[in-house]
Structure 1
Amino acid sequence: MSIENCQNLVIGSGVGGKLLAWTLARRGERTVVVERSMVGGSCPNVACLPSKNVIYSAKAVSLVDPDTGLGVVTGPVRVDMAGVARRKRRMVDELVERHLDNFKASGVELVMGEARFTGPKTVRVEQNAGGVRSLRGERVFINVGTRAAIPDVPGLALAGPMTHVEALDLERLPERLVVLGGGYVGLEFAQAMRRFGSRVTIVQRGARILDREDPDVANALRELMEDEGIEVLLRSELLAVEGVSGAGVRLRVRSGAGERTLEASDILVAAGRTPNTDQLDADRAGVELDARGYIRVNDRLQTSAPDVWATGECAGSPQFTHVGEDDFRVVLDNLAGGSRTTRGRLIPYCLFTDPELAHVGLNESEALAAGVSYRIARMPMAKVLRTYTLSQPRGFMKALIGADDRILGFTAFGAEASETMAVAQTAMLGGLPYTALRDAIFTHPTAAEGLLGLFADPPVAPAP
């Protein structure tokens, strides 16, 4: 079989891969992208955008709940899960078409198939439509992403549990759903399914949900889940599973010193991710993996092999689409002889529950562990006038302030928290003191206006 040569070979069409491909191809460089299944990667197909689409449908259910007192009068509310799925699929189809248009307009050749390395910068592609091709790039960019991990628990894999991928395509309502994992994916789906009408239990192995967040944040999210009727089991270990998810399952769980059996109709696994490098044969290309299967890269996202880069989650980058997009900028800058690296990036993130959790910079736990001194400003969201218009006073904002009055970190749990966080992040990027936000003129009534109240009083040192 003859080897086809190109200037740029991209494996995986997620955000870092597709942006590199489109950019380099528009410069006139022959660029080939090999994608196994999802044009555009996980984000537009089975992750960020589809999940927020479904979450918004669940939000609509909550808005017509008579207990919210919004003054909307309607008859009996019925959730059409098939309709929810159809709305999501329409969005995904439109996004995929936009991606295909971009591939065509940029001049990128998109090859649908499975790529495996056969040697340095060379892959064998089993095409989905049949046939085999051998491709070699002068430069290679790996962007194969991650997938949901299924814990090694007796009976769990045999039960055929859902991951977020299958949950997004549900056309029926699970009667009794057990969510394994109290992280971001687990909480978002738990709340959405509960609002659709499922009975939901979260099984979390750790002492709290969101175990990387500050205790006050984790406790606030647990209270939110419980107030919405979701059972949260902490310090709970899944021991075994019997049955088939979707038809009926029994889960044996150890909580503390005792055991209990949970009866459920469905299981949703949201217990971490694993990199999609196991079928890549990376060693044949001289690309080193770490013990967990992630590609080893330096702070310029270069792998151990010359002229081979890796971006996104498979390279161990934080698992957010916006980080993958910045990975693209790092690689592109270095291809042009620049010096941009992944060091010191200010990475924000949001949990799209209702209300939202948004964070950027240091949290208190991290500051204490690093020995960073700080003062803290804190305010309940009920003091933000915007929340009165939304009838959503739940939550709080807090900011860590350094000795030079600059903002070290910001967290908001409340209505429109993601937008407020972006304002604080901008101030942090500009090195502004918190007083610049305190003295700003923000539009009334917006959530960002709450920053005036947050910083109205001087921040104080945390209690010992």
Structure 2
Amino acid sequence: MAVEQFQNLIIGSGVAGKILAWTLANRGQRTVVVERAMIGGSCPNVACLPSKNVIYSAKAASLVHPETGLGVTTGRMNVDMAGVARRKRMMVDELVKLHIDKFKNSGAELVMGEARFTERKTVQVALNDGGTRQLQGERVFINVGTRASIPNVPGLIDAAPMTHVEALNLERLPGHLVILGGGYVGLEFAQALRRFGSQVTIIQRELQLLGREDPEVAEAILDLMRDEGIEVLLNAEVKNVAGNSGKKVTLQVESESLERTIVASDILVATGRTPNTDGLDLDKTGVELDEKGYIRVNDRLETDVLDVWATGECAGSPKFTHVGDDDCRVVLDNLVGGNRTTRDRLIPYCLFTDPELARVGMTESEARENGIPYRITRMPMSMVLRTHTLSQTRGFMKALIGTDDRILGFTAFGAEASELMAVVQTAMLGKVPYPVLRDAIFTHPTAAEGLNGLFAIPPIEPGGKIKVSGTKKCL
């Protein structure tokens, strides 16, 4: 079989892979992308965008709830899960078509199949339509992402639990959904399915939800879940599982030294991710993996093999599409003589519950652990008038301020928190001292206007009592 030669061989069409392909092909370089299943990667197909699509449907259901909604009534409210899934599929189909058009217009060749390395820069591709091809690149970019991990719990695999992939395709409403994991994926699905009408139980092994967040943030999210009618078990471990997810499952759970049995209809596993590197035969390339299976790269995303890069989640980058996008920028800039790295990136996070939780920069816990001096300012979201127009006054904002008056970190839990965070992130990138936001003129009534009030509160040392009586700008 003849080996086909390309300037650029890209394995995986996720965010970094596809942008690399489109950019390099548009520069006139012969480029091929091998994609196993999902054109454009997980984000437009089974992750970020589809999940937010479903979450928005759940929000719509909450807005017309006869007791907690906005007073809009059209008779008895019903949720059509097939309709929810249909709306999501329409969006995915449109996005996939957009991606296919982008590949065609750029000149990058898209090959659908499974790639395995046969030597350093050569792969054999088992084509989805049958047959094989051998492809070789002068440069190779590995962008194969991760998949949901299934914990080693007796009976769990045999129960055929859902991951986020199957949950996004549900055309029925689970009677009682048990979610293993209290991270981003688990919490977003928990609230959405509860709002659709399912009974929901979250089982979290750690002492708090969202283990990376400050305790007060985790407590606020816990209160939200419980107020939505979601049962949350902390410091809990599933000992064994019996039955079949989608029909009937029985879970033996130990929580705070007490054992109990949970009988449910479905299980959703959201306990972490596993890199998709185990099927690539990377041992034939010299590319090294770490103990968890992630590809070892330096801060320029280069592997230890010349002209072989790895990007995105398979390279151990934070598991967000926006980080994969920046990984692509790092590689592209360096290919033309730049010196861009992944060091000291200011990476924002957002949990798309309702209300949202958004954070950028350091938490208080991180500042303390690293011995970084800081002051803090904090304000309830109820002091932002925009939240009253939305009937969503829940939550708070807080910021960590350095000794030079620059913002070290920002957290918002409340309505439109992600947009608030973007404003503060921009200030942090520009190394702008916090009084600039305190004195800025923001449109009334917007969420951003709340930053006037937050930063008008004199920041205090950790442990001090914050006085918010002087924040007249919000009122």
Give the TM interval when normalised to the shorter protein: over 0.9
Separation of aligned partners in 1, 2:403 and 2:295: 38
Number of the residue aligned with 1:10? 10
Q: Do residues 256 (structure 1) and 231 (structure 2) align?
A: no
1:458 deviates by 1.2
Which runs of 5 or more residues in structure 1 are unaligned?
none
Q: Do residues 73 (structure 1) and 73 (structure 2) align?
A: yes
Separation of aligned partners in 2, 1:119 and 1:87: 44
SS at match of 2:67: helix
Query: Residue 377 of structure 2 contacts residue 458 of structure 2 at CA under 8 Å; is this kept in 1?
Result: yes
After superposition, the C-alpha distances for 1:94-153 in whole angstroms (9 at most, x for unaligned) are 000000000000001000000000101110000000011111000000000000000010
1:69 deviates by 5.2
Separation of aligned partners in 1, 2:457 and 2:267: 47
1:22 deviates by 0.3
Q: Do residues 446 (structure 1) and 446 (structure 2) align?
A: yes
After superposition, the C-alpha distances for 1:361-391 in whole angstroms (9 at most, x for unaligned) are 0010100000001000100000000001000
SS at match of 1:60: helix
SS at match of 1:99: helix
Separation of aligned partners in 1, 2:73 and 2:10: 53
Separation of aligned partners in 2, 1:66 and 1:372: 49
Which runs of 5 or more residues in structure 2 are unaligned?
465-475
Number of the residue aligned with 1:320? 320
SS at match of 2:219: helix
Separation of aligned partners in 2, 1:419 and 1:233: 31
Q: Do residues 233 (structure 1) and 238 (structure 2) align?
A: no
SS at match of 2:284: helix
After superposition, the C-alpha distances for 1:18-57 in whole angstroms (9 at most, x for unaligned) are 0000000001100000000000000000000000000000
Number of the residue aligned with 1:356? 356
Change over 3 Å in CA distance of 1:121–1:378 after alignment to 2: same
The amino acid across from 1:87 in the alignment is: R
Separation of aligned partners in 2, 1:257 and 1:34: 49
Separation of aligned partners in 2, 1:240 and 1:401: 47
| Identity score, percent | 75
1:257 deviates by 1.4
Query: Residue 62 of structure 2 contacts residue 69 of structure 2 at CA under 8 Å; is this kept in 1?
Result: no
Number of the residue aligned with 1:96? 96
Number of the residue aligned with 1:219? 219
SS at match of 1:113: strand
SS at match of 1:66: coil
Separation of aligned partners in 1, 2:349 and 2:206: 21
SS at match of 1:68: coil
Number of the residue aligned with 2:60? 60
The amino acid across from 2:283 in the alignment is: D
| Match runs of 1:40-439 below 5 Å | 40-68=40-68, 70-439=70-439
Query: Residue 63 of structure 2 contacts residue 69 of structure 2 at CA under 8 Å; is this kept in 1?
Result: no
1:83 deviates by 0.2
Of the structure 1 ranges 69-78 and 339-348, higher mean CA displacement relative to structure 2 is found in: 69-78
Query: Residue 40 of structure 2 contacts residue 96 of structure 2 at CA under 8 Å; is this kept in 1?
Result: yes
TM-score by length of 1: 0.99
The amino acid across from 2:319 in the alignment is: Q
Query: Residue 252 of structure 2 contacts residue 262 of structure 2 at CA under 8 Å; is this kept in 1?
Result: yes
RMSD, aligned α-carbons? 0.6
Separation of aligned partners in 2, 1:457 and 1:234: 35
Separation of aligned partners in 1, 2:119 and 2:339: 29
SS at match of 2:104: helix
Separation of aligned partners in 2, 1:275 and 1:399: 34
The amino acid across from 2:395 in the alignment is: G
SS at match of 2:456: coil
The amino acid across from 2:37 in the alignment is: S
1:71 deviates by 2.2
SS at match of 1:194: helix
Separation of aligned partners in 1, 2:323 and 2:73: 43
Of the structure 1 ranges 350-359 and 60-69, higher mean CA displacement relative to structure 2 is found in: 60-69
1:304 deviates by 1.4
1:455 deviates by 0.8
SS at match of 1:200: strand
Separation of aligned partners in 2, 1:158 and 1:275: 22
Separation of aligned partners in 2, 1:176 and 1:135: 48
After superposition, the C-alpha distances for 1:67-93 in whole angstroms (9 at most, x for unaligned) are 225221221100000000000000000
TM-score by length of 2: 0.97
SS at match of 1:213: coil
Q: Do residues 36 (structure 1) and 36 (structure 2) align?
A: yes
Separation of aligned partners in 1, 2:82 and 2:319: 29
Separation of aligned partners in 2, 1:436 and 1:259: 54
Number of the residue aligned with 2:22? 22
The amino acid across from 1:440 in the alignment is: A
Separation of aligned partners in 2, 1:151 and 1:415: 34
Separation of aligned partners in 2, 1:228 and 1:40: 34
Separation of aligned partners in 1, 2:137 and 2:265: 48
Number of the residue aligned with 2:472? none
Number of the residue aligned with 1:462? 462
After superposition, the C-alpha distances for 1:212-263 in whole angstroms (9 at most, x for unaligned) are 1000000000000000000000000011000000010000111121211100
The amino acid across from 2:211 in the alignment is: D
The amino acid across from 1:211 in the alignment is: G
Query: Residue 205 of structure 2 contacts residue 236 of structure 2 at CA under 8 Å; is this kept in 1?
Result: yes
Separation of aligned partners in 2, 1:374 and 1:124: 54
